Homo-oligomer: A and B are copies of this chain.
Amino acid sequence: MRKVAVIGIGQTKVAENWNKSLRELAGDAILSALYDAQLSTADAFFLGNMMSSAANNQQNLGAYVTDWVGSRGAESIRIESACSSGSAAFRSAVLAVASGEVNIAVAAAVEKMTDSPGAETTAYLATAADADWEVDQGVSFVALNALIMQRYMHEYGWKHQDFANFSINAHNNAMNNPNAMFHMTITEERFNSSPLICDPLTLLDASPIGDGAAAAVIVPLENPFTSMSKTPIRVAGSAAASDTIAVHARQDPLWLSAAEKSAKQAYDQAGVSPENIDLFEYHDAFTIMASLSLEACGFVERGKAPELAIRNEITIDGRLPVATMGGLKARGHPVGATGLFQLVEVIQQLRGQAGKNQVAQPKYGMAQNIGGSGSNIITHILTNDS
């Protein structure tokens, strides 16, 4: 297996991008990434997307986007694993380059959600859950997360307010990210008085939907192209694991076994342990998912994630900076594209290009992207230490 590195990144702003079509969003991110890599095309394109079939009446995104960016003829497929489609596309590109079959790959991911009415979007998001055994019983995605959070608070004795700093930190960090959806800080008071959307989840526990695209150019580490890049960022660990799609079928609904499994594999591949991780882009679709991810990855003991938030250990200068560019909560969660935003942000940090949010001299950055309510989880560890 060849070692693999990222030499170009690109992203759009996450927003209600009314003036951009699905292909324009994807194209903007891909062309930025290629420009950043000083390339004009690639051999293969791996496109992550969750809901264009329903929201945009468009599938076959590979061909759709590849031609648009001027790479007609190149190999191109779409990858879908619900909310983890973005990092699944990245991992597919990594494997293709690692195999020796593809020399220059673009991993990109796009989602355009705001064209559809809210109720429809809720239904489209629910296709990530079990149609027969969850959705047809009336359970939405928010409801599943609320049930998990309810159980978590009951089991470990946390109150809703104990999760406040996850959201506050995300909003603070988004202030300095020009591509973030929200540029407003929130206070503990505001978090605590936030309207309930599904008990105990409030609006400020939840990430917003949005439109956006992100992309990365992936090449073999030993390659003439990497010498042109100031800082090739090596993919030190890449692993994916699954769990039951239905939450009720899990032995333990408070433990993300696919997060644990994929993180462990990624640590082993990179030869590191949680203490070596200098920043963590976690999947804070809801504060409860942020908590479960921190625990399953070994950053904190089971049932104790809110302690990290309460003690402010998750800020840019804390022990484990998370959501450094705003996270899903405040950068926004264009669902199938989110995983690639996370990876692009890790790379910004490892290159020292994170501006006011720069983590001090990071060596290893980790991103974990959660599909479904934990059914499909992909973990990557990247490093600037080639």
Contact = CB atoms under 8 A, between A and B. Distances in A.
B63 A375 contact: yes
A76 interface: yes
Contacts of A73: 241-243, 257-258, 261
Nearest to A49: B80
A201 to B, nearest CB: 21
A188 interface: no
B82 A80 contact: no
Contacts of A371: 60, 63
Interface string A60-103: 11111011000011111111111000001000100110111110
Interface in A355-386: 371-372, 375-376
Contact of A75 (B102, B124, B126, B240): B240
A50 interface: yes
A131 B64 CA distance: 10
B1 A67 contact: no
A283 B129 CA distance: 33
Contacts of A243: 63, 67, 72-73
Contacts of A62: 81, 242, 376
Contacts of A239: 75
A78 B77 contact: no
Interface string A233-252: 00000111111110001000
Number of copies: 2
A45 to B, nearest CB: 8
A59 interface: yes
Given A58-B131, A60-B371, A63-B371, A78 B75 contact: no
A57 B140 CA distance: 13
Contacts of A128: 59-60
A227 to B, nearest CB: 23
B240 A77 contact: yes
B1 A74 contact: no
Nearest to A92: B92
Interface residues of A, number: 64
Most buried by B among A57, A67, A245, A375: A245
A65 to B, nearest CB: 9
Given A1-B101, A98-B99, A242 B54 contact: no
A80 B81 contact: no
A78 B76 contact: no
A63 B131 contact: no
Contacts of A273: none
A56 interface: yes
Contacts of A72: 242-244
Contacts of A376: 60, 62-63, 76-77
B127 A245 contact: no
A132 interface: yes
Contacts of A59: 50-51, 80, 82, 127-128
A21 interface: yes
A132 B75 contact: no
Contacts of A88: 77
A272 interface: no
A165 to B, nearest CB: 30
Nearest to A55: B53
A135 interface: yes
Interface pairs A-B: 4 shortest CB-CB: A63-B375, A1-B100, A99-B99, A60-B82
12 contacts: A53-B54, A57-B126, A58-B130, A58-B131, A62-B376, A63-B81, A63-B371, A67-B245, A75-B240, A75-B242, A77-B92, A95-B99
